[in-house]
Homo-oligomer: A and B are copies of this chain.
Amino acid sequence: MNPTTPEHQLFSGEGAWAAFRAWLADQQFSQLVTLVDANTLRYCWPLVQQQLDLAGDPIEMPAGEANKNLHTAATLWRTLMDKGVDRHSLVLNLGGGVVTDMGGFIASTFKRGIPFVHIPTSLLGMVDAAIGGKTGIDLDHTKNIVGTFCKPDALVIDPVFLKTLPLEERRSGFAEMLKHGLVQDDSLWRDLSTLRTFDALDPEYVLRAIAAKIKVVDQDPREGGFRKILNFGHTLGHALESRALQSGVPIRHGEAVAAGMLLEAWLSMTHNRLAWVDWIIIRETIQRFFLPLDFSLLDPDGCMPYVIQDKKNRAGAIRLVMLRRPGKTEWDVEVTQDQIRAALLVYPTLF
């Protein structure tokens, strides 16, 4: 929002809440409103309400990606109007990626943009969705097709929220941590890929993954070039996620991205970018942490429309991020529809 704020005003570690309280007092917002879903209302709101001494009820949106749509956005904009929210009010987005994507979108477009802060409560939110200023909603099952680039005015990271997450949710966020390592931080990748389990994930790894992402997005906030490396695994991952949403049996973002990374690493290998030995380690690591997707999801005809719609494409050509080795990538690599089809068809044979 404010061009004079530092790139990422991050409150994390010990004393994070006290520092954030001081920052809030300093900013003198005319009003604070908090956006939650049913889960964060129950598990996270009591802590935040107490830490920030907030009066009044939060605004609740229906949980889940299926509700990250225009209908929910319209309801929330109306709620902001009813509450007399003005350009000097602050929206606190307390939740996972769905809440922060939606809350960022409605705040960045309400009265042409009002301040907002993300308090991510999921691992995926902390290491990915809440960082970097991408906001968005889905339209007709196409993910984040409508949205803005708009950085939150601040971020509060409290790993205590991770304890409230089911295992599958932590697994989903772990996929993005692996990705941050793979595309940009070889040492993070090595540490994570040698873990036997992510059950008791060390908060230090979470903060390292956050740092890796911030490093990328601060160099290229509007994704003119370099930031595209964060899309590794996402061209096919998003297509699989959209396809699953459309089929009525949604899968988690991280599960889709794990499968996408597997396929895009395979394409990187068959395109002579990635060495065989690196490919084998990546494949083995992903298979250690993630179960195979239902093979019927990888039907090429069903997936292709979503692949073609990808935001990184240009003039109809499909563009991928390819891996050269862990920590080193190449972006805007054009591939044909036939090559994408081959990757989708080869998936069942990788297990």
Show the binding face of A for B, using Cβ within 8 Å: 3, 30-31, 70, 74, 77-78, 81, 84, 86-88, 108-113, 134-136, 139-140, 142, 144-149, 222-223, 308-309, 311-316
Q: Top 10 closest A-B pairs, CB basis?
A: A30-B315, A111-B311, A112-B147, A88-B314, A109-B146, A112-B149, A86-B313, A30-B314, A86-B314, A77-B146
Choice from B84, B113, B145, B146 contacting A149 with Cβ under 8 Å: B113
Q: How far is the CA of A312 from the CA of B112 in the complex (A)?
A: 11
Checking B30, B78, B147 against A109 with a beta-carbon cut-off of 8 angstroms, the contacting residue is B147
Q: Using CB atoms, name the residue of chain B closest to A31.
A: B315
Q: Which residue of B lies closest to A84 (CB)?
A: B316
| A109-B146, A147-B109 known; A140+B81 contact, CB < 8 A | yes
Q: Is the CB of A86 within 8 A of B315?
A: yes
Shortest Cβ gap from A138 to chain B (Å): 11
Nearest CB of chain B from residue A34's CB, rounded to whole Å: 18
Alpha-carbon gap, A223 to B87, bound state (A): 11
- Nearest residue, chain B, Cβ from A70: B74
Q: Which residue of B is nearest A144, CB measured?
A: B112
Q: Find chain B residues with CB under 8 A from A316 CB.
A: 30, 84, 86
Which residues of B have CB within 8 Å of A81? 139-140, 142, 145, 309
**Cα–Cα distance between A136 and B112 once the two chains are bound (Å):** 8
Given A111-B145, A113-B149, A139 and B77 touching (CB < 8 A)? yes
The interface centre, meaning the residue of A30, A112, A113, A145 with most chain B CB atoms within 10 A of its CB, is A112
Can you offer 13 A-B residue contacts whose CB atoms are under 8 A?
A31-B315, A77-B145, A81-B139, A86-B315, A87-B311, A88-B314, A109-B148, A111-B145, A112-B135, A112-B223, A112-B311, A113-B149, A148-B148
**Distance in Å from the Cβ of A334 to the closest Cβ of chain B?**
13
Contacts A70-B74, A78-B140, A134-B112; is A314 near B146 (CB within 8 Å)? no
Bound CA span A156–B139, Å: 32
Report the bound CA distance from A308 to B140 in whole Å: 35
CB–CB A146/B315 < 8 A = no
Told that A77-B145, A109-B148 touch, could you supply 10 new A-B pairs with CB distance under 8 A?
A: A77-B146, A78-B139, A81-B139, A81-B145, A84-B316, A86-B316, A110-B146, A111-B147, A112-B148, A113-B149
Contacts of A109 in B (CB 8 A): 109, 146-148
| Cβ-neighbour of A108 out of B139, B144, B148, B312 (below 8 A) | B148
* Closest beta carbon of chain B to A163's beta carbon, Å: 33
Per the bound structure, the CA–CA distance linking A113 and B309 in Å amounts to 15
Q: Which residues of B contact A311 (CB under 8 A)?
A: 86-87, 111-112
CA distance A77 to B309 in the complex (A): 13
Q: Which residues of B contact A144 (CB under 8 A)?
A: 112
Cα separation A146 to B136 with both chains bound (whole Å) = 14
When A78-B139, A81-B140, A139-B74 are in contact, do A145 and B110 touch as well, CB less than 8 Å? yes
Question: Nearest CB to that of A113 among chain B residues?
Answer: B149
Least CB distance from A332 to B in Å reads 11
Shortest Cβ distance from A108 into B: residue: B148
